[in-house]
Each structure stands twice: as C-alpha cells, then as structure tokens.
Amino acid sequence: MIYFKLILVALMWGGTFIATRMAAQVFGSFTGATFRYIFALLFLIPMVWIKDKNAFNISRKQFRQLFLLGVTGIFGYSYFFFNGLRLVEASHGALIVSLNPVLVLILTSIRDKKKMSFIKILGMTLSLIGVSVVISRGSLSELWNGFTWGDAFMLGCPICWALYTFYAGDALKTTTPLQASTWATLIGFCMLAMFAPFENFPNQIDPLVWVAIAYLGICGTVLGFVWYYEGIRTIGAVKTSVFNNLIPVFAMMLSVLILGERIETYALTGSVLVIGGVFLINKF
C-alpha cells in the first residue's frame, strides 16, 4: 500500500510544477507560498487535532527537529520553487529537481560513514551529467553560459529537499507523519508570512490561479507530505526518495497536456540520464 501511495505522491508533486508555474506568474514567491500553506493548514490542523490532541505538545528537542523541517522543506524549498518556476518551464525545472535522490544518497553516506560503490558513483555521475545537459540546453560546452537565475533557483530545491528528507529520519523517530507534517508546515508558513507583506499583491487574480494554489495546499502538501513521511518511516529515506524519479516524468506529461509546453530533445536526453543514474544508485 505504501508503494501505491508514493506513486500517487509523485503524480501529485509532478502536478505542483504546473500549478506553481501558473501561480508564480501572478504572486510573489512568499505570497504564493503563504496562500498555499493557508489551504494546507486549514486541513492539517483539524486532522491532527481529531486524530491526536496531544500532537501540539512537543519537547524542545522535537521542536528543534521539526524547525529544521520547516526551514528546509517548507520555507527554503518554497522560496526556490516559486522563483525558479517563474523563470523556467515546468518540465525544465522538474528535471533539475530530480537530482534529489542523488543528494539524499550523498548525505546519508556521509552520516552513516559508508563508502559508495563504483555502481553508485557511476549512477550519481550519470545523473549529474543529465542535469548538466538540461541546464546547458543540450550543449555541455556552453554549460556556464547557458546557466540562468532560473536554473540557480531550481537547484536550490533539491538541496533543500535532500536536507528535509535527511532531517525527517530523526524527527520521525519521536513524531507521527501527520504531526511532523503539521508542525513543519506551520513553522514554514510563519516564516513565509513574515516576508509576504513586502511583496506587491495583484489587482486581479484569475480563478484558475486560486485552483492552482488550492491544489498546492491540499494535494501537494497535505496528502503529499503525510504519505511521504509514511514512506520514510516505513521503507527509509533513500528508498522513498527513489519514487521522486517519477516526478519529472509526470511533470513533463502534465506540462504538455495542461500548459502546452514543448519537450525538447535535450530534455528527453537529460531525463534518460538522470533517471537511469538514479536507477543504478538504488538498484545496486
């Protein structure tokens, strides 16, 4: 059952690239993310209150652990995600973010003091080459010249998410997935809301943008985060992150169907290298 949930998470998170691309053209990064988590908290707080009224009573150690989740997975990730998808297409951004399993592997190897095998190093190298192909738009010799602010922001996403997944392993030893999701979202929301008033608010907002924001809050956060935490607790951080390989595939499909984006040859080449590399990392 957990594997089916993680496939759905990948599908829903693939959709977040499309929804954020739509919202980022209207809202500033802090404002858009703040509204996203308002929708999320409207569902998360009643859910956790009904299921466990003691979920809001945590120790100082638990707060420190959950604070790290809020800073990395909510505040940091949202900032980079919104800014990046304002500047690059959803399919392009999804391929860069697919570096996440590679970074999780590096962090867990450092923490556990384990030497990576040749196959894992090969897989990591293939993934990095794949992302380089995407960033350079198919011309590796022009990698630096092709690097944009949009690429830089999108690279911030897998870094934040890898740290988030890394810290979640410790937090989930003493908290439930729902409790951790709620606290992390609440902490991240408070930080985002502090900066939102400094951004300009649009005069007119298309109803579809609100639908996109609601999707980000309900599907991308409530269901996605809770099930992702369940995966980490059940099968571990590295195996759970493997399902993130499906996110760029779903994101590319949805970007074509919904946004009408065109998938370039370099994007297909990059996706094969990234996904193939991550397959090697987790298969051997």
For the stretch 109-120, pLDDT in tens is 777 777 777 887
> Residue range 155-169: average pLDDT?
88
For a pLDDT cut of 90, what percent of the chain falls above it?
A: 35
> Residue range 7-20: average pLDDT?
90
> What pLDDT, on a 0 to 100 scale, did the predictor assign at position 80?
96
User: pTM of this prediction?
Assistant: 0.84
Confidence of residue 166 (pLDDT cuts 50, 70, 90): confident
Residues in CB range of 192: below 8 A, 6 or more apart: 30, 33, 34, 37, 74, 75, 78, 79
More confident residue, 276 or 77: 77
Task: Return the minimum-mean-pLDDT range out of 25-34, 90-99, 241-250.
Answer: 241-250
More confident residue, 243 or 22: 22
Task: Return the minimum-mean-pLDDT range out of 44-53, 84-93, 139-148.
Answer: 139-148
Q: What share of the chain is helix, strand, coil (3-state, %, to 5)?
A: 85, 0, 15
The CA distance from 210 to 132, in Å, is 34
Task: Return the minimum-mean-pLDDT range out of 2-16, 155-169, 223-237.
Answer: 223-237
Note the pLDDT tens digit of each residue in 226-266.
Answer: 888 888 888 887 677 777 777 877 888 888 888 888 877 87
The CA distance from 144 to 249, in Å, is 26
Q: Tell me the three state secondary structure of residue 260.
A: coil
> What pLDDT, on a 0 to 100 scale, did the predictor assign at position 282?
64
Fill in the DSSP letter of residue 136: T
Residue 146 in contact with residue 139, Cβ under 8 Å? Answer: yes
> What pLDDT, on a 0 to 100 scale, did the predictor assign at position 142?
63
Q: Identity (one letter) of the amino acid at 172?
A: L
> Residue range 266-284: average pLDDT?
76
The CA distance from 173 to 104, in Å, is 18
139, pLDDT greater than 80: no
Fill in the DSSP letter of residue 199: S
> Residue range 256-283: average pLDDT?
79
> What pLDDT, on a 0 to 100 scale, did the predictor assign at position 143?
64
